[in-house]
């Protein structure tokens, strides 16, 4: 069995902001300390595409086409 992943595909910035506050990572997010899991660009409200949970951590994916494609492929389990 693979690690179970939950995904929020559609992120509205209001919801995202509240989510980040709840997860206590809002400060990191605002300070651009949260990076895309694939290309390491800082994630912000303009370029965030998706996020997923892996074990204890949250993984963010930017809106670059290559990152999004990689993300979708992994979601389908073709790892
Ligand atoms: Zn990226």
70's tokens: 């990689």
6's tokens: 């939950």
Rounded to the nearest whole angstrom, what is the distance from the C-alpha of residue 32 to the centroid of ligand 1? Answer: 13
pTM exceeds 0.85 for this model = no
**pLDDT tens string 6-50:** 455 446 667 888 889 999 999 999 999 999 999 999 999 999 988
Rounded to the nearest whole angstrom, what is the distance from the C-alpha of residue 79 to the centroid of ligand 1? Answer: 17
> Could you list which residues have their CB under 5 Å from ion ligand 1?
36, 38-39, 62, 64, 67
**Closest among 37, 38, 50, 52 to 4, alpha carbons compared:** 52
Rounded to the nearest whole angstrom, what is the distance from the C-alpha of residue 30 to the centroid of ligand 1? Answer: 17
CB 16 within 8 A of CB 59: no
Q: Which helix (H) or strand (E) holds 48?
A: strand 48-54
Residues pairing with 42 in the sheet: 35
């Amino acid at each position: 069995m693979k690690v179970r992943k939950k995904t929020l595909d559609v992120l509205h910035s209001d919801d995202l902001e509240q989510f980040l506050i709840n997860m206590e990572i809002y400060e990191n997010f605002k300070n651009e300390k949260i990076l895309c899991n694939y290309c390491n660009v800082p994630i912000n409200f303009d370029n965030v595409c998706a996020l997923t949970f892996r074990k204890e951590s949250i993984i963010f994916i930017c809106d670059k086409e290559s990152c999004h494609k990689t993300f979708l492929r992994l979601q389908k389990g073709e790892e």
